[in-house]
Amino acid sequence: MTYQHTRHWVVDKSVGNLEASPQIQEAAGFIKQNKVVAFPTETVYGLGGNAESDEAIDLIFQAKGRPSDNPLIVHIAEKEQLCRYVRSVSSQADKLIEAFWPGPLTIVLEHNGELSEKVTAGLPTVAVRMPDHPVASAIIKASGLPVAAPSANRSGRPSPTTAAHVTDDLHGLIAGVVDGGPTGVGVESTVVDCTNDEIVILRPGGITKEDLEKVAGPVTTDPALVEEDQAPVSPGMKYTHYAPHAPLILVDGDRRFFAEKAEEARREGKKVGVLITDEYEGVPADKEIRLGPAGDLPAVARRLYDSLRAFNQNEVDVIFAQVFPETELGGAIMNRLRKAAGGKIISQKE
């Protein structure tokens, strides 16, 4: 479905009784009519549709150009909603819910068949989270529905952290965009499988492995995060994601090694873009985008997708990106960068 004009509502997330505002009521009304609407969460902008409706889920997949075997996250506004759609909540899942909801944590549990089968991609499990953003919460409450909401971008593009990013990708393809300002975390939620006693990270995100282990003990990471030929059991586990217009290559090495690789490409006649921290300032490049200090990973995460989008088509031929330690939030940042690069990496150690 296409639209001559995608509605744009601007809301102030700090106002009281946000759920009753005309903009929120109209956006929620669209969702109740099985249309799809983009709105901000604390992680990225989501593309929301009625999770009980095949029609709405089809529109989400069509707008994004997303493969239908990739399951969607269901967003709820109150913990009580969870019990309407899952068979049971394990004790481990309950610990995580108490510690991290609302917030950037998605929990995978066995569903009870009440949701559209297209949300779960035919799997016996469903991914659910409760966003910690007043606009998202207000829309979900006003709709009275569980809301399936993948990131509001064309499939494969960097996820949107502003309403302008959504409009760039999806204007005319969706019914509306609720503009609640820039998002906070900047990378998507952490996804964990809680269907067994052992908690397994299916996608790193705003809640780190270390955060989880403080609450629930040892946590493992699913090997499918690096074995891309497996069928996805969670959003974000398959296909290239987050890609800028030009090819992206990760460079694992010190500043001198990074500069050498950039200069080699320029000698080959290529226009070079670099995605770096402040510490690598001044490496040879035709366009430089800085992510902030290397030690401030929350700031790097917030800037990541906007920075990837800042390399416009035809502006550079190749982008070299710095790598980060895979501890704390660095694991989520590197997960996104590896997917954006399609696994391409140059290492100083080789």
Binding residue numbers: 43, 66, 70, 75, 125, 129, 149, 151, 159, 189, 203, 242
Beta strands in 44-86 (DSSP E): 45-50, 73-75
Annotated binding site for ATP: 66, 70, 125, 151, 159, 203, 242
- Tokens representing 275 are 């995605």
HSE, CB side, 13 Å, CA atoms: give it for residue 111: 25
Annotated binding site for L-threonine: 43, 75, 129, 149, 189
Q: How far apart are CA 190 and CA 206, in angstroms?
A: 6
DSSP H or E run through 221: strand 219-221
Q: How far apart are CA 125 and CA 107, in angstroms?
A: 10
Report phi then psi at 72, rounded to 5: -110, 155
Residue pair 36/60 in contact (Cβ under 8 Å)? The answer is yes
**Following DSSP, what letter does each residue of 180-214 receive, concatenated?**
----SS-SPPEEEE-SSSSEEEEE--SS-HHHHHH
Residue pair 142/19 in contact (Cβ under 8 Å)? The answer is yes
Q: Is 347 exposed, middle or buried (0-12, 13-18, 19+ CB in 10 A)?
A: exposed
Q: What is the greatest pairwise CA distance in the chain?
A: 61
β-pairing, 125-129 vs 105-110, is antiparallel
Q: Is the dihedral of CA 148, 72, 336, 151 positive or negative?
A: negative
* CB-based contacts of 230, cutoff 8 Å, min separation 6: 224, 237, 238
